[in-house]
Chain A
Amino acid sequence: MPESGDTNTGETTTVRWDSALEAIERCYELGWTDGLPVVPPTEQRVGEFIERSGRPSQEVVGELPERRREITVGKVAANAVMAGCLPEYMPVVLTATEAMLEPVFNLVGPSSSMGGAAILSIVNGPVAKELNINSRNNLFGPGNRANATIGRALRLVLMNACAAIPGVFDRSVIGHPGKYTYCIAEAETETHWTPLHVERGFSADQSAVTVFAGEAPRQVRAVGHPEPILHAIADVASSLGSNMSTSGSVGDTGVGVRQGQIVVTIAGNSNLWKDWTKAQIKEYIHARTQRSVADLKAAMVLEGEPVPGDSETMIPLIPEPDDILLIFAGGEESNMSSVIPSWGPKVGSTAVTKLIRWAGTEKNVA
């Protein structure tokens, strides 16, 4: 761990190298990597990415005033190159970066906190199929270039452009496997459910990316029948020890626990859910994601001596049904699902969905 508080400066640096291996090693020395080798960001390659974005290199995508950083198109391009992206991924990486820098996302929180947060990006719309962003088997990886490199590009943007340096400004106690990469798509054409981005205000023929500061996915191994699956999902989401069931930094929830948003993925064959809409599922999970005052007192989340009735008095852990980001995603083999609790209270970081300016792989900026 660096003791001096040294970080890279966030400024553009030009270095020379004579071979690919030397360049890869030099990138390590410069502190530009996540621990894995990066593609050397040559001027030519970065230039291709900037050109593909259709935006000027110096255009400011967003700011992180707490760390005195301006994030430009050129900086995003350099990190996308290093992550191993293809040039056509640029609109997704740029839009996800813009989304992370929206004030309600409060990026300085999940990128610095002792809690283990990674930034999950969920891609919806035609862009997901055109770029072959995986929404099925091995949803969270490995094995697919778009998922692996888009998610990795966002982490490198965080480390190199936003100064989220482990041990200095990123003080996560246990880290998070998703901090290497954490990008998925919804299998929206394989279900009757309304796609996530349409629920959040866009149209089905538009493409959008949603960013969410989350803990790691917890697999839910309940299959076969809708109610038992949803019961298990709610039970997992109600566990002690998650962000949502802890106290401290409670904000304005007024209930003594943090509460927060969650992402739920449900896989398999959508026919199992033919009698269920997303809204009905979210209502069902929301009503059952809760913990008794007795349990919360026993865990010292709530203060006070136990009193009669504590076991029957339930505290909800999710503010509203729409704070459940439900997507149809994962392998076709089974209806297994996953729950991803938020990193912090909703007031500390709220998921953001942004439109991707996209008009096909040949001419990708509308």
Chain B
Amino acid sequence: MENAGIPSATICTDRFIPTAAGMAKMWGAPDYPTIFTEHPIENLSREALRARAEELAPKVVRVLTGEG
């Protein structure tokens, strides 16, 4: 999406650091600022997931505005 000129932010859990690094290299952007959060999230309650999203939101804004 960045290649298409659309600002984007990627969030991964921290068990997927090698996968995110591999994908960034594969797409020619080895320094791509993937945002990581503690694994896992699939069993979080709605409230806990919302709290996690609120915690990550400022990081997403920084990445989208190029200050990541």
Q: Which residues of A contact B (CB under 8 A)?
A: 1-7, 67-68, 163, 165, 167-169, 171, 248
Q: How many Å from the CB of B12 to the closest CB on chain A?
A: 11
Bound together, the chains give a CA A313 to CA B53 distance in angstroms of 37
Sampled A-B contacts (25; CB under 8 Å) = A1-B18, A2-B18, A3-B18, A4-B18, A5-B17, A5-B19, A5-B20, A5-B21, A5-B22, A5-B24, A5-B25, A6-B22, A6-B25, A7-B22, A7-B26, A67-B26, A68-B26, A163-B22, A163-B26, A165-B22, A167-B18, A168-B18, A169-B23, A171-B19, A248-B42
B40-68 CB mask vs A (1 if < 8 Å, else 0) is: 00100000000000000000000000000
Contacting residues, chain B, for A163 (C-beta < 8 A): 22, 26
CB pair A5 B42 closer than 8 Å: no
- Interface class of chain B by DSSP: helix
Instruction: Tell me which of B17, B24, B25 contacts A3 (CB under 8 A).
Output: B17
What 1/0 flags go to B7-43 for Cβ under 8 Å of A? 0000000001111111111110000000000000010
Which A residue sits closest to B25, measured CB to CB? Answer: A5
B31: min CB distance to chain A, Å: 12
For B17, list chain A residues within 8 Å (CB). 3, 5
Bound complex: CA A5 to CA B24 (Å): 9
Residues of B within 8 A of A6 (CB): 22, 25
Contacts of B22 in A (CB 8 A): 5-7, 163, 165, 168-169
CB nearest to A4 among chain B residues:
B21
CB A162 to nearest CB in B, in angstroms, measures 12
Residue in chain A with minimal CB distance to B21: A5
Query: Quick one: closest B residue to A3, CB to CB?
Result: B18
Q: B20, A68: Cβ atoms under 8 Å?
A: no
Measured in the bound complex, the distance between the Cα atoms of B42 and A2 in whole Å is: 24
For residue A171, give the distance in angstroms from its CB to the closest CB of chain B. 6
In whole angstroms, what is the CA distance A196 to B21 when docked? 42
CA distance A19 to B20 in the complex (A): 38
- Name the A residues within 8 Å of B27 (CB-CB): 68
Q: Which residue of B lies closest to A1 (CB)?
A: B18
CB distance from B66 to the nearest CB of A (A): 23
A-B pairs with lowest CB-CB distance, top 7: A5-B21, A5-B22, A168-B22, A5-B18, A168-B18, A3-B18, A7-B22
Whole-angstrom distance from the CB of A63 to the nearest CB of chain B?
14
- B-chain residues with CB within 8 Å of residue A171 when the two chains form the complex: 16, 19
Question: CA A195 – CA B19 in complex, angstroms?
Answer: 41
Please name all residues of chain A whose beta carbon is closer than 8 Å to the beta carbon of B26 when the two chains form the complex. Answer: 7, 67-68, 163
Q: Are A169 and B19 in contact (CB under 8 A)?
A: yes
Given A3-B17, A4-B18, A167-B18, 19 other A-B contacts at CB below 8 A?
A: A3-B18, A4-B21, A5-B17, A5-B19, A5-B21, A5-B24, A5-B25, A6-B25, A7-B22, A7-B26, A67-B26, A68-B26, A68-B27, A163-B22, A165-B22, A168-B19, A169-B19, A171-B16, A171-B19
Give CA–CA (A165, B19) in the complex, Å. Answer: 10
Taking the closest CB of chain A, its distance from the CB of B22, in whole angstroms, is 3
Cα–Cα distance between A169 and B16 once the two chains are bound (Å):
9
Query: Looking at B16, B22, B24, B25, which has the most chain A CB atoms within 10 Å of its CB?
Result: B22
Contacts of A1 in B (CB 8 A): 18
Q: B15: nearest residue on chain A (CB-CB)?
A: A171
Task: Report the Cα distance A309→B3, complex, angstroms.
Answer: 54
- Determine how close the nearest CB of chain B comes to the CB of A201; give it in whole angstroms: 36
Shortest Cβ gap from B56 to chain A (Å): 21
User: How distant is B7 from chain A, measured CB to nearest CB, in Å?
Assistant: 20
Q: How far is the CA of A6 from the CA of B24 in the complex (A)?
A: 10
CA distance A4 to B26 in the complex (A): 12
**A182, B19: Cα distance in complex, Å:** 26
Residues of chain B contacted by A68 (CB below 8 angstroms): 26-27
Once bound together, how far apart are the Cα atoms of A7 and B18, in whole Å? 10
Residues of B within 8 A of A4 (CB): 18, 21
CB of A2, distance to nearest CB on chain B (Å):
6
Bound Cα distance from A67 to B18, whole angstroms: 15
